Amino acid sequence: MPPSDLHQDLGWLLETGDGADVKFKVDDKLFFAHKGVVAARSSVFRAELFGPMKGVSVKDVVEIHDMEPEVFMAMLKFMYTDLVPIMRVGEEIAMAQHLLVAADMYDLKRLKLICENKLCSRLTKKTALTTLVLAEQHGCHGLKKACFAFLSSLGSLKAAMGCDGYDHLRSSCPSLHDELVSKLDGSKGNKNANGHCCPHRRQRSSTVRPAIIAGYHVLKIECYSYAKQLGVGEDIKSATFNVGDQRWYLRCYPGGYNNDSANSISIFLSLDDHQQPLPKGEVKATFVFSLHHYAGEPVPVFTNTIKSHTFSTENRCWGIDKFIPRAALERSYIDGDSFRIRCDIKVLKEFIMEDTTVAQPQLPAAAQPELHKHLGQLLAMRVGGDVTFSVAGEVITAHRCVLAVRSSVFMAELFGPMKEKASGCIITIDDMEARVFRAMLHFIYTDMMPEMEEGDKMTMSQHLLVAADRYDLQRLKVMCENTMCSRIDTGTVANTLILAEQHCCIALKEACYKFLKAPGRFREVMASDGFDHLMCTYPFLFMEVLDKIAP
């Protein structure tokens, strides 16, 4: 499954400024942004841009006071990507403090917690008291507790008074100063037999686990047109690579490992033949072979896991003889006369014990990323919608910038040469049900498929696959393929095969062929109405099916 790229898409939107409809001025620097995105992420911006006090037009500039441009830019990047930008060495604490203030000002709870975590882990005599004041001013209870714990660990009030910022604490926050004095005075009762203050207590624990050494190697086969001429049993070896104190290499057989696999690519993992004898006579490992397409992502249907295998001097090689049919590889996965196979390997070694001592109190836990959740709420609330669609008689509102950055088709329609036709009017979507369009919008905004009833998943996935192909939503297309692959049955396989052919879904076609190869399965399918439609409408596909399932 391709990883979520929602944060990358929105990060690119911020960087390019395409479709920006609001300007922010910080000092003398202008920042271009998108009302819908900042409103989705911040209730403060939502009220300012779309609430009762709104009045900021496209040409207006929103002025931001009491904030440095670098801090505002970092906050914007977080709002668009849910990631905190990398901070320059030596400036992490100052930037985290400034960002915490900004996060509190604009109601960015997750950013605030991330900053709390960073400040908690960087407490020193130079930062503890200023951080304590900051925690008090902005309601950071976990950070405040961590500051008290650190100051208590110094052993005395006098030691705490020697920290930087003590005079500022006493003058600006007298009540907090009194609270600190009370806590440190109270620690005097916690003394050892010699009358000295005991340091901050820590819980101690240990964990026993197997040592696992992981690594991977990517084998790129170039000049495939030449390599495929190799005969059965002729291999191409990769360079050696080290994982778990062992040297390994990959062996690829473009012509198949043996006669039984002559129509497939075979791939094996092997210990280096020239390596010294194994220390304990054997090596246990788990490994995964995955075909990678031109975009660099693994192809799910051609990803195979070897859960565990013991390599030894007598058994140095193990793998998969029918890794991918050569025809499937040549139809869809050859890029520039080359293809790539990745091997991820984990070598299991002896059990080890770790000291997992945890300091108390625990740091505040940062919340899970919320970008998808906030954009989903933006879609549901229709706040700031600036484009309207008519789908099967139903009117649906959305946001141009989100649609455009997620779909190259929407980008061309809403911001390309044809944008005038889409401006200020309702865009009619033909040949699609309203519920399918809404489900596609849900994915565009959240990078997730909507909740569906189990009995509706196959049908909805079929419709969504068509929509994903139409609007160039590659991740949604793969998700639909995976859902359909796991739900193929005698009643759906024929129509699924047709759909896979129409929309170039190679993995889905292979799953259909695999289903049809089961003993007695083809006879059952031939009795279905869908198979009659397949034979009449797609005779070439029917012949391909016969070729695939032939013994």
Q: How many CA atoms lie within 13 A of 7 on its CB side?
A: 15
Question: What is the rounded distance in angstroms from the CA atom of residue 506 to the CA atom of residue 509?
Answer: 5
Residue 405 tokens read as 């950055």
The residue behind tokens 């620097």 is 29
* 75, 91, 185 from 112: Cα distances, Å: 11, 17, 31
Q: Judge whether 117 and 146 are in contact, CB under 8 Å.
A: no
Cα 362 → chain centroid: 27
Tokens of 451: 């909740």
Separation CA 164–CA 124 (nearest Å): 9
Question: Alpha-carbon distance 202 to 219, whole Å?
Answer: 48
> What are phi and psi for residue 290, nearest 5 degrees?
-140, 130
**pLDDT given at position 104:** 96
The pair of three-digit structure tokens given for residue 412, joined into one six-digit string: 């061309």
Q: Which two tokens stand for residue 209?
A: 């686990």
pLDDT at 252: 96
SS (H, E, C) 256-323: CCCHHHCCEEEEEEEECCCCCCCCCCEEEEEEEEEEECCCCCEEEEEEEEEEEEEEECCCCEEEEEEE
Quick one: pLDDT at residue 425? Answer: 81
Phi, psi of 365 (to 5 degrees): -80, 130
For 329, the token pair is 């590889």
Cβ pair 250, 316 in contact under 8 A:
no
Identify which of 16, 39, 28 has the alpha carbon closest to the alpha carbon of residue 399: 39
Report yes or no: 465 and 439 within 8 Å, Cβ to Cβ: no
Q: What is the dihedral of CA 236, 242, 244, 245, to 10 degrees?
A: 120
Q: Are 450 and 407 in contact (CB under 8 A)?
A: no
Enter the pTM of the model. Answer: 0.65
Contact between 305 and 345 (Cβ < 8 Å): no
- Kindly list the structural domains of the chain, giving each domain's residue range(s) and its CATH number in brackets, ordered by start: 5-182 (3.30.710.10), 212-348 (2.60.210.10), 372-456 (3.30.710.10)
CB 273: neighbour CB atoms within 10 A?
A: 9
* φ, ψ of residue 228 in degrees (nearest 5): -70, -10
* Residues 535-539: contacts with CB under 8 Å, at least 24 apart: 537/498, 538/498, 538/501
Burial class (CB within 10 angstroms; exposed 0-12, middle 13-18, buried 19+) of 542: middle
Length of the chain: 551
What is the CB-side half-sphere exposure of residue 336 using CA atoms within 13 A?
A: 7
Q: Quick one: pLDDT at residue 501?
A: 92
Strand segments (E) across 151-204: 202-203
Q: Which CA distances in Å does 341 have to 257, 261, 380? A: 16, 18, 42
pLDDT in single tens digits along all 551 residues of the chain: 567 888 889 999 999 998 899 999 999 999 999 999 999 999 999 999 987 766 555 457 899 999 999 999 999 999 999 988 877 667 888 999 999 999 999 999 999 999 998 898 888 888 889 999 999 999 999 899 999 888 888 876 777 787 777 888 888 888 988 888 888 775 544 444 444 444 444 444 556 666 778 888 989 998 888 898 999 999 999 988 888 778 899 999 999 999 999 999 999 999 987 666 666 678 889 999 999 876 567 887 888 888 889 988 888 899 999 999 998 888 878 877 889 999 999 988 766 555 444 444 455 555 678 899 999 999 998 888 889 999 999 999 999 999 999 999 999 999 877 664 555 688 999 999 999 999 999 999 999 988 888 889 999 999 999 999 999 999 999 999 999 998 999 888 999 999 999 999 999 999 999 999 888 888 888 877 778 888 888 889 888 888 888 76
Which amino acid type is present at position 375? L
The pair of structure tokens assigned to 492 is 């759906």
